Structure 1
């Protein structure tokens, strides 16, 4: 027994353009491809001998066309092929000279009335949802004026891609509503559907774009999965490893500095002394650390209690080095609270591409960039800011070049 072969074609994207679809199906039949199924992005055809066929699309807002109506169409020479949403496709060989499914255009317009109303409701809903989502995403990206920081952190990438998809859905819903309304108006005026309308190259390119865009949407779903796999949080080891993070002991340089017993443990992690790793498409290597210690017998200079310095570090190895400068600017904005702007001082450094320093009593913040590497350090303690800069200069060499940190560790 000879097996039939299925062929997949990128289908016209505008599902509501009835005449164009009918003509496309007929062109495929002349090439020996007979429609079998309509999917979201592809139409499935079965190969056979080239033949002239007629295809007609009927509209039903109901879940299924009644069996008696299907039998009536079959008796007239029309075989049911497949459906897509509210559109039912029928075929008939040209030599049968089957009568049209609808001979009265004005009467046919009434079959479209319910569809027009449904599409209108869908369009209103999707447009409102799109506006709401755009408003929320705008706040995420631009409320704090730190779009590059948001991009690097990867919080909103998937949501933005999905919002673009929903926006495109709203656009197509509006186009469908307008087109179906215009079609109904023409039918009411006695103007039949144009069965000879053809798809031009622009339409096919647009359909291909939709396929590619949908694939991108699917791939975007991988982002949070990769982030979950890469994301981990562990207690920071007391010994200094080969990680590009600034350690408290290296800043303090005091042999009496010790780690106090953990006050808050969760899932086996000392959250006062922890390091977290993360991943993003624009920063595949990311570290976020906290560390705190005490120096026995030493108090804060204002007499407020035992001296307990702490350090917080953010580390990024970027995919695109040119983003480092803007990331530094956004990091300053993100970590800039009620301090005076003039206290954030840009400094020249022979071994760093950019360096910004903030110092106020025990609080110091340092923002540095070199090549692909960006490091932010917030330190609370009595050590001078130069010791922080020196450590950043040493650590940033691990991530500033072309190799990923994981590659360096394996070499």
Structure 2
């Protein structure tokens, strides 16, 4: 049984002359083309000198009468791919060219020219939309580091880059076929012995690399979906690098407040775990409670403090300060940056606080750990910072 050999097919299917030369060189090595798909299929046999010609038609299936016409000239039908149909003939047969009139051959490219031009226009329009979307993800709200850490920017950038490469090849194809048509009309025949040994491997390598990177980045949302987990926050302390409301209040009368339950999760007292390549550990929590018998100093009513925490363990520690700046822009209570006070702390690399009446916001980092805490209650800011230092060291170890 003949041995089959598969070779990765060059993506530039429209490079007619280079494909013809490639098929001929493979035949000279004993690999004879039998089929073209995602891979080029070759049958291993005796090395032979064979000429190959590619005819272009308006459909993916070439008419039988046309096959018979070419056979009479000494050309045997081999296979088809897209609108391209491959014929072969031993060199010693000295078979005449498929087309004696180059103008007629040029006309066979009309339909392909229209399709490739349409594809290029659609591809360019899609690329423009992708660029606008990417710009929005990165810069619309002025928090590019946060978008990167959450993973969306990585996926969108990879997707846009991949589409950019596809758009480039689409434009290449349209311009190449247009140039080939023009050359044929000017009496310049197709060069059937184009040097392919540099362009084919390079283009295959580039295509392979783009595809691998795209698939890896495209997997990010699915990995995030698999790793994302939301649970009701236990009332007792758990081994999580988060600030607990009970530790801030430090009152034995403190108890969990009322909340709303959806899908058996207490969303007012919950923690969510997330993942991304630049922040493989991410926590977001909400917690609220009440202290029976105690009342708000200013508003009256039963004292009911609450706390919201966001925690990130970064793969790139140098991004910590940028992430803090973005967290302030996105989640800071005040828009005026002057209301956020930068402080020095011997155990923290960065510490920025905001305080107004009972509301306190703290943005802190140590090594590769970043924490944002928004607390609404009567406890002082120093108590909040001490708890943040204790928890942030757990995360950065």
Which TM-score band applies after superposition, normalised by the shorter structure? over 0.9
* Aligned pair partner of 1:354 in 344, 350, 369: 350
> In 1, distance between residues paired with 2:304 and 2:210?
53
**Structure-1 separation of matches of 2:75 and 2:141:** 62
Match for residue 218 of structure 1 among 212, 215, 220? 215
Q: Tell me how far apart the structure 2 counterparts of residues 322 and 386 of structure 1 sit (CA, whole Å).
A: 26
In the aligned structure 2, how far is the partner of 1:344 from the partner of 1:36? 71
Q: CA deviation at 1:78?
A: 2.4
- C-alpha separation in 2, matches of 1:280 and 1:185: 50
Q: Verify the 8 A CA contact 2:358 2:378 in the aligned structure 1.
A: yes
1:63 maps to 60
What's the counterpart of residue 4 of structure 1?
Answer: 3
Q: For 1:25-174, what aligned pairs fall within 5 Å after superposition? A: 25-40=23-38, 42-174=39-171
Deviations 1:122-177 (A, max 9, x none): 11111011101210220111111111110110123223222222221111111111
Aligned length, in residue pairs: 397
Would you say the 8 A contact 1:286–1:314 is kept in 2? yes
Give yes or no for contact 2:77–2:88 (8 Å, CA) kept in 1: yes
Q: Contact (CA 8 Å) 1:19, 1:196: kept in 2 or not? A: yes
Deviation, 1:15, is 2.0
Distance 1:300 1:110, change over 3 A: same
Would you say 1:299 and 2:298 are equivalent positions?
no
| 1:255-274 correspondence runs (5 A) | 255-262=252-259, 264-274=260-270
The one of 10, 18, 21 aligned to 1:20: 18
Scaled by the length of structure 1, the TM-score of the pair is: 0.92
- Measured against aligned partners, the alpha-carbon deviations of 1:367-410 in whole angstroms (never above 9, x if no partner) come to 11111211111111111111121111111112213xxxxxxxxx
* 1:342 corresponds to 2:338: yes
Residues 23 and 198 in structure 1, CA contact (< 8 A), matched pair in contact too = yes
Match of 1:196 in 2: 193
Report what 2:227 is aligned to.
Answer: 230
Gaps of 5+ in 2: none
Alpha-carbon spacing, 1:223–1:372, altered in 2? closer, same or farther (3 Å): same
What's the TM-score once normalised by structure 2's chain length?
Answer: 0.95
Q: Return the alpha-carbon distance in structure 1 between the equivalents of residues 32 and 389 of structure 2.
A: 67
CA distance in 1, matches of 2:80, 2:296: 77
RMSD over aligned CA atoms reads: 1.7
Distance 1:39 1:148, change over 3 A: farther
Q: Describe the shift of the 1:240–1:351 C-alpha distance in structure 2 as closer, same or farther (beyond 3 A).
A: same
Residue aligned with 1:178, SS: helix
CA distance in 2, matches of 1:83, 1:346: 68
